[in-house]
Amino acid sequence: MRFARPIAGSLVLTGMGLSVMLSACADSGPGDAPSQVPAVDGAPAVWQLQPDQRLTAASTGFTALVSRLACNSGVTGDVVEPDIEIGEAEIVVTFRVEPDDPGAADCQGNDWVPYEVSVNEPIGDRALIDGQCRPGGAAEQTVFCDPGPSRWTP
């Protein structure tokens, strides 16, 4: 199991009423006590519908364009199978991507990777929702979620 732990060197950026702390991380070795929670099953990713598709109530799937949320020098990486929650009023699809090795990365925006999503039943009159944009989601406060988490409404 891998854990992240702070190593020497932190930088605090301030300005315009905002403070951001950046710190380097390293993997803990055998016998090291973890100082933070274990890594999760992938890094958060957002999605949008591929623009050229036409969904209907009878559609049982769609193509999502997926992008890693965090800076990664323009590379989204491998997309992990999404979590899909099928409810009466909405279908929530939450994507993650394979974690990348910690290190410096620039924030030029990451590529959009196509991913075929199957919900195994007709979408019907349910909205398609990006789970990372729901309240408490990793992308909730980002431009990716403006104006909200819905990616398609019937």
101-113 pLDDT per residue, tens: 767 788 889 999 9
Separation of alpha carbons 148 and 135, rounded Å? 10
Q: Which residue has the higher pLDDT, 3 or 111?
A: 111
Q: How far is CA 132 from CA 101, 129, 136, in A?
A: 22, 9, 8
Separation of alpha carbons 67 and 122, rounded Å: 25
Q: What is the pTM of this model?
A: 0.72
Q: Helix or strand or coil: residue 143?
A: helix
pLDDT, position 102? 67
> CA 65, CA 46: separation in Å to the nearest integer?
8
- Tens digits of per-residue pLDDT, 51-102? 999 999 999 999 999 999 999 999 999 999 999 999 999 999 999 999 877 6
Distance CA 36, CA 97 (A): 21
Greater model confidence, 136 or 12: 136
pLDDT at 78: 95
pLDDT at 38 over 70: no
What are the sequence ranges of the domains in the chain? 43-152
